[in-house]
Amino acid sequence: MTASLNIALSKGRILDEILPLLGRAGIEPREDPAASRKLILDTNLPDIKLTIIRAADVPTYVQYGAADLGVAGKDVLMESEGDGLYELLDLKLARCRLMVAEPERLAARDDPKSWTRLRIATKYVNITRRHFAAKGIQTDIIKLYGSMELAPLVGLSDRIVDLVSTGQTLKANKLVEVEHIADISAWLVANKASMKMKHKPLTSLVSRLAEIVEQG
Ligand code: PRT
Ligand code: MG
């Protein structure tokens, strides 16, 4: 009997980009995860199942062993601060950058070198606090769950910390990037106990995926 592997994925960008990669590794879900209301999906391989959850929940599922493997953005991993998982492979998918942004009119007379205290809206509270604490800059952080770009427009904050890919969203809201925090991509993560207990099937899948990522 081969041990079964459960892979946690989130709908949206990650799913759109990971499905072709899994397909190249010979793994096809039995139904379309984007359309299905099922939360656990069978694949063509009897020993591989996909669990569909919210992006921010992927590290939790993997840490507790509710999934053996997971695919999560580096942003989500950095924010979750958990230590119960291994970051195995940079899948180089869903790439973007985590940035500090502010209104154009503020940027015109702003100098990041002079920052001492900032009022920032973000969903990345931990990353933001750590990033600025390391530079000795104090932060008043306002936690939001989305649409961070709105905050400076309505006076909720002066600046935001958010993901940027094309830059269209910032531009449409008259915001500009002022500081780079991290380059972001989706990573394959694994539960630590699964790495021991299911070592063979797990590492063979990971090396198959690594080869495909290498091929680009
Ligand atoms: O939707 P839900 O609340 O369940 O979760 P989620 O919003 O975290 O999921 P999703 O699917 O939106 O994002 C999943 C992952 O995709 C993130 O954790 C990132 O690792 C990655 N990713 C890559 C992005 C982007 N690019 C991205 N551009 N996630 C979000 N964005 C947003 C960004 O927040 C901003 O609002 O897109 C907007 C900017 O895009 P541009 O192209 O206008 O610059
Ligand atoms: Mg979203």
Domain locations in the chain as residue ranges: 5-94+185-215, 97-182
According to the model, what pLDDT value does residue 82 have?
78
Please state the rounded mean pLDDT for residues 190-215.
97
CB atoms within 10 A of CB 61: 22
DSSP H or E segment with residue 31: none
The amino acid present at 173, given as its one-letter code, is N
CATH of 5-94+185-215, one of 3.40.190.10, 3.40.50.10860, 3.40.640.10, 3.30.565.10: 3.40.190.10
Residues contacting residue 102 through CB under 8 Å, at least 6 positions apart = 110, 152, 158, 159, 160, 175, 176, 178
Using the predicted structure, report yes or no on whether residue 108 has a pLDDT greater than 90.
Answer: yes
Residue 21 near residue 213 (C-beta atoms within 8 A)? yes
Q: Whose CA is nearest to atom 26 of ligand 1?
A: 96
Residue 122 near residue 160 (C-beta atoms within 8 A)? yes
Is any ligand 1 atom within 6 A of the Cβ of residue 150?
no
Closest CA to 184 of 99, 65, 105, 70: 99
Query: Is it true that 5-94+185-215 and 97-182 share their CATH fold?
Result: yes
Closest CA to 22 of 7, 3, 39: 7
Q: What is the fold, at CATH topology level, of the domain defined by 97-182?
A: D-Maltodextrin-Binding Protein; domain 2 (3.40.190)
Residues 119-174 have pLDDT tens digits of 999 999 999 999 999 999 999 999 999 999 999 999 999 999 999 999 999 999 99
According to the model, what pLDDT value does residue 103 have?
98
Q: How far apart are CA 212 and CA 70, in angstroms?
A: 17
Please state the rounded mean pLDDT for residues 71-91.
94
Ligand nearest to the backbone CA of 54: 1
Percent of the chain past pLDDT 70, that is, above it, reads 99
Using the predicted structure, report yes or no on whether residue 81 has a pLDDT greater than 90.
Answer: no
- pTM (two decimals): 0.96
User: Relative to the CA of 73, which ligand 1 atom is closest?
Assistant: 20
Q: Which of 1-15, 112-126, 200-214 has the lowest mean pLDDT?
A: 1-15
According to the model, what pLDDT value does residue 144 have?
98
**Residue for token pair 């539960």:** 191
Residue 49 near residue 4 (C-beta atoms within 8 A)? yes
Q: Calculate the average pLDDT of the chain.
A: 96
Using the predicted structure, report yes or no on whether residue 95 has a pLDDT greater than 90.
Answer: yes
Q: Which of 2-16, 85-99, 196-210 has the lowest mean pLDDT?
A: 2-16
According to the model, what pLDDT value does residue 1 have?
56
Q: How far apart are CA 147 and CA 81, in angstroms?
A: 23
Instruction: Out of 96, 128, 173, give the residue to mutate to test ligand 1, the one with the largest number of ligand atoms within 8 Å of its CB.
Output: 96
Percent of the chain past pLDDT 90, that is, above it, reads 96
